[in-house]
């Protein structure tokens, strides 16, 4: 799939201006919760990425609504799917799949559509991201089964006191340079994607090969055989395979890593806290994604779900959470409530035309995920 998803280049200023002009932002003051939500009580069970709901955010939500959040943190889309399949969604009200994973969910029957009429401030949300749910998660024509929550990228991060990218602009190739042998980290499957994008610049692969690999299995295998061979040959470069936000932070702070391919959130949260770590889109393009919220078909706390969604889509709590998790909010205007460091970090992470050069992950059918896991395991176990 070569066409970029419609949420590409999500410049905060451009999106906000466009939405304001279209009257998309609801006239809802910060932290206002509907009377029905305020009347809600009880609990809500959330299966979500491990660093997305900071303690202060959860405390504020419970204070406003009286609803207790039972928060189970995860580190991968595979973990979300496996946990939901194991229980048929029982014990989960909201889970948080990534936008391009819709083909892997459509046949599972584990989700139900949202009732958008119950989310009074849905107009606060980036309309281009909402459209992803309307178009790609509208299973059986029953309505959107996915709402955007947090967007971010995967790119290159490094210890500013121990490393600097040659030439000043980072590349996925930095991770494979001999001068950092045994001092790099990555998540295996996305690190291999980054390696492939780097190999497109060296002539080992042709430009566009990594995107064309999503077209069919034969094409994918031809490309990933070359990527896997390269990664296995150079495996000694890698000190750490990370699997969640904490392992990325520990890699830089405790495990001797000086450069790695990471999510934006962990290194930028560390940067905000004063650690000698930074993050930047590489010349090949930062890998872009939107993590959303999906409603379990077995959800037992429906009123609490809509109270939670309404709180998530308030600009003030969404913005204050940015300083803790380091990612970007799908809520228009949330950045105004983030600290001063956020704007600086954002501009430094995406300098020049970096936002126009994002590499949005294409939709991933199950066959692609299966074959990628095969090659991922060859690399990790080599």
pLDDT in tens, 206-233: 999 999 999 999 999 999 999 999 999 9
For the segment 24-38, the average pLDDT, to the nearest whole number, is 36
**Residue 5: predicted pLDDT:** 40
For the segment 190-216, the average pLDDT, to the nearest whole number, is 98
Report the alpha-carbon angle 11-14-15, nearest 5.
80
Q: Is the dihedral of CA 346, 177, 75, 55 positive or negative?
A: negative
For residues 130-152, b (16+ Cβ closer than 10 Å) or e, as one string? bebbeebbbbeeeebbbbbbbbb
Q: Is the pLDDT of residue 297 over 70?
A: yes
- The tokens for 297 are 């078909």
For the segment 311-339, the average pLDDT, to the nearest whole number, is 96
Q: Is the dihedral of CA 56, 62, 68, 69 positive or negative?
A: negative
**Residue 382: predicted pLDDT:** 96
Q: Is the pLDDT of residue 372 over 50?
A: yes
Q: Residues 111, 296: contact at Cβ < 8 Å?
A: yes
**Residue 41: predicted pLDDT:** 64
For the segment 122-140, the average pLDDT, to the nearest whole number, is 97
Ordered by start, the domain boundaries in the chain are: 12-151+288-349, 154-287+363-381
Q: Is the pLDDT of residue 28 over 90?
A: no
Q: Is the dihedral of CA 252, 258, 264, 267 positive or negative?
A: positive
**Residue 224: predicted pLDDT:** 98
Please tell me the pTM assigned to this model.
0.86
- Which CATH number is 12-151+288-349's, of 3.40.50.300, 3.40.190.10, 3.30.70.330, 2.40.160.20? 3.40.190.10
Q: Is the pLDDT of residue 332 over 60?
A: yes
Domain 154-287+363-381 has CATH 3.40.190.10: yes
**Residue 254: predicted pLDDT:** 97
Nearest CA-CA partner of 259 in 326, 185, 188: 185
**Residue 186: predicted pLDDT:** 98
Share the mean pLDDT of the chain: 90
Q: How far apart are CA 367 and CA 224, in angstroms?
A: 14
**Residue 175: predicted pLDDT:** 98
Q: Is the pLDDT of residue 197 over 50?
A: yes
For the segment 246-259, the average pLDDT, to the nearest whole number, is 97
Q: Is the pLDDT of residue 11 over 60?
A: no
Q: Is the pLDDT of residue 152 over 50?
A: yes
Q: Is the pLDDT of residue 26 over 90?
A: no
| Percent above pLDDT 70 for the chain | 89
**Residue 1: predicted pLDDT:** 36
Band of residue 349 on the pLDDT scale cut at 50, 70, 90: very high
Calculate Rg over the CA atoms of the chain. Answer: 20
Band of residue 32 on the pLDDT scale cut at 50, 70, 90: very low
- On the question of a common fold for 12-151+288-349 and 154-287+363-381, the answer reads yes
For the segment 264-279, the average pLDDT, to the nearest whole number, is 96
**Residue 127: predicted pLDDT:** 97
Of the given ranges (36-50, 68-82, 321-335), which has the lowest mean pLDDT? 36-50
Q: Is the pLDDT of residue 25 over 90?
A: no
**Residue 9: predicted pLDDT:** 41
* H/E stretch holding 153: strand 147-159
């Amino acid at each position: 799939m070569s066409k970029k998803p419609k949420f590409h280049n999500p410049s905060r200023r451009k999106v906000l201006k466009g939405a304001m002009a279209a009257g998309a932002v609801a006239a809802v003051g910060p932290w206002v919760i509907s009377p029905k939500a305020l009347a809600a009580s009880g609990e809500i069970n959330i299966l979500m990425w491990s660093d997305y709901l900071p303690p202060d955010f959860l405390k504020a939500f419970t204070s406003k609504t009286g609803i207790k959040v039972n928060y189970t943190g995860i580190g991968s889309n595979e973990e979300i799917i496996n946990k939901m399949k194991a229980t048929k969604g029982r014990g989960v009200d909201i889970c948080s799949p990534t936008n391009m994973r819709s083909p892997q969910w459509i046949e599972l029957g584990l989700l139900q559509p949202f009732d958008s009429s119950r989310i009074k401030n849905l107009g606060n949300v980036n309309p281009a991201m909402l459209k992803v749910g309307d178009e790609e998660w509208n299973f059986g024509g029953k309505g959107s089964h996915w709402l955007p929550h947090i967007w971010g990228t995967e790119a290159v991060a490094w210890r500013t006191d121990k490393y600097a990218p040659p030439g000043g602009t980072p590349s996925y190739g930095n991770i494979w340079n001999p001068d950092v042998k045994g001092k790099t980290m990555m998540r295996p499957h996305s690190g291999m994607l980054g390696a492939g994008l780097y190999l497109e610049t060296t002539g080992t692969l042709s430009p566009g090969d990594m995107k064309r690999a999503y077209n069919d299995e034969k094409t994918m295998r031809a490309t990933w055989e070359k990527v896997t061979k390269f990664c296995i040959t150079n495996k000694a470069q890698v000190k750490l395979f990370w699997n969640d936000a904490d392992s990325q932070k520990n890699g830089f702070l405790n495990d001797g890593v000086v450069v790695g391919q990471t999510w934006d959130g962990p290194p930028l949260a560390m940067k905000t806290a004063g650690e000698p770590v930074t993050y930047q889109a590489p010349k090949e393009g930062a890998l872009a994604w939107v993590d959303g919220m999906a409603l379990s078909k077995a959800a037992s706390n429906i009123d609490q779900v809509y109270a939670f969604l309404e709180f998530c889509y308030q600009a003030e709590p969404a913005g204050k959470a940015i300083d803790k998790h380091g990612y970007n909010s799908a809520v228009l205007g949330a950045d105004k409530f983030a600290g001063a460091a956020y704007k600086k970090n954002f501009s430094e992470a995406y300098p020049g035309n970096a936002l126009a050069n994002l590499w949005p992950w294409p939709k991933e059918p199950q066959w692609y995920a299966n074959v990628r896991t095969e090659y991922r395991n060859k690399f990790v176990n080599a």
